[in-house]
Amino acid sequence: MSVMVVRKKVTRKWEKLPGRNTFCCDGRVMMARQKGIFYLTLFLILGTCTLFFAFECRYLAVQLSPAIPVFAAMLFLFSMATLLRTSFSDPGVIPRALPDEAAFIEMEIEATNGAVPQGQRPPPRIKNFQINNQIVKLKYCYTCKIFRPPRASHCSICDNCVERFDHHCPWVGNCVGKRNYRYFYLFILSLSLLTIYVFAFNIVYVALKSLKIGFLETLKETPGTYPPLAVCPSKAFLSYFPACFLPTFLPLSSFSDIRECQGLK
């Protein structure tokens, strides 16, 4: 974020942002206020991967190939990097209108709609814009006092208008919008791959060891396999596959189709 110098006192822009965000590291880290679920996500990923590296990898590296933990480590680092990037970056928050701009817009609205008599509910503020020969309605945001650009939306949790707002993801502890969508998508993709990879090699490990010492003995010897076996399938099949398919196929089908954009808001 840039610096405004006012008489030798450095006032950072993030200090004055009216939304419900928390900032760290001198404005380099920007998150939503509720971070509990984000810590849970971190714990789940770190926990299962640590157990995988501590127990299964030692056996599999020797028995099968040392490339297995190396590739797992790369996937793990990539997922963590994209997770942190998604959680800590600005999703594309639109700054609120300053009083001058808000007054200007109010004047324009009154000029088009006429002054509303006292006691009556004002009509919903919508501006019609023509985008590529299609009429698109832009809605007015009462909190931010702006007409939202196409595909922008107001996040009620963070109390900000966000450009190309997708959703507020509690797992990531931040909104997902224009500026961090690619990191979010890569996080989901890499985490799916990591989950499948860990789960698959867990199965392989249990299978290999069972051939030698029997299935029940294997389960008794390595309790470290339980958490990944339990957590991975649920993570993969409940959330990541749908989350992966949607961003992959939706943009391909609705690319630059304004009707889809209207439906998506």
Partner 1 sequence: MWKSQVHNLQELRRSASLATKVFIQRDYSDGTICQFQTKFPPELDSRIERQLFEETVKTLNGFYAEAEKIGGSSYLEGCLACATAYFIFLCMETHYEKVLKKISRYIQEQNEKIFAPRGLLLTDPVERGMRVIEISIYEDRCSSGSSSSGSSSGSGSSSGGGGGAGAR
Catalytic residues: 169
Instruction: Read off the tokens for 110.
Output: 């009154």
Please tell me whether residue 94 binds partner 1 under the rule CB under 8 A. Answer: yes
Please tell me whether residue 256 binds partner 1 under the rule CB under 8 A. Answer: yes
Contact with partner 1 (CB under 8 A) among 18, 149, 223, 251? 149
Q: In this structure, are strands 134-141 and 174-176 parallel, antiparallel, or unpaired?
A: unpaired
Please tell me whether residue 151 binds partner 1 under the rule CB under 8 A. Answer: yes
Contact with partner 1 (CB under 8 A) among 78, 140, 197, 241? 78
Contact with partner 1 (CB under 8 A) among 39, 104, 215, 249? 104
Please tell me whether residue 82 binds partner 1 under the rule CB under 8 A. Answer: yes
Q: Which C-beta is closer to partner 1: that of 118 or that of 132? A: 132
Q: Specify the DSSP class assigned to residue 39.
A: H
Q: Which C-beta is closer to partner 1: that of 219 or that of 258? A: 258
Stretch that binds partner 1, among 36-44, 81-89, 167-175, 233-241 (CB under 8 A): 81-89
Q: Which C-beta is closer to partner 1: that of 86 or that of 202? A: 86
SS3 230: helix
- Give φ, ψ of 262 to 5 degrees: -65, -40
CB 72 within 8 A of CB 55: no
Please tell me whether residue 85 binds partner 1 under the rule CB under 8 A. Answer: yes
Stretch that binds partner 1, among 49-57, 144-152, 205-213, 246-254 (CB under 8 A): 144-152
Q: Where are the alpha helices (DSSP H) in 117-180?
A: none
- Dihedral sign (CA 114, 120, 125, 128): negative
Q: Looking only at residues 156 through 195 of this chain, which bind partner 1 when binding is defined by CB under 8 A?
A: 183, 186
As a whole number of angstroms, the distance between CA 169 and CA 147 comes to: 24
Q: Where are the alpha helices (DSSP H) in the chain?
A: 36-51, 57-63, 67-88, 99-113, 181-213, 215-221, 226-235, 241-254, 258-264
Stretch that binds partner 1, among 18-26, 57-65, 148-156, 210-218 (CB under 8 A): 148-156
Instruction: Read off the tokens for 148.
Output: 């939202």
Please tell me whether residue 77 binds partner 1 under the rule CB under 8 A. Answer: yes
Give the chain's end-to-end CA distance (angstroms, integer).
Answer: 28
Q: Specify the DSSP class assigned to residue 25.
A: G
Stretch that binds partner 1, among 65-73, 123-131, 224-232, 235-243 (CB under 8 A): 123-131
How many of the other CB atoms lie within 10 Å of CB of 95?
Answer: 15
CB 241 within 8 A of CB 192: yes
Please tell me whether residue 125 binds partner 1 under the rule CB under 8 A. Answer: no
CB of 2 to partner 1, least distance (A): 8
Q: Which residues make up the interface to partner 1 (CB under 8 A)?
A: 77-78, 81-82, 85, 93-95, 97-98, 100-101, 104, 129-132, 136, 146, 149-151, 183, 186, 256
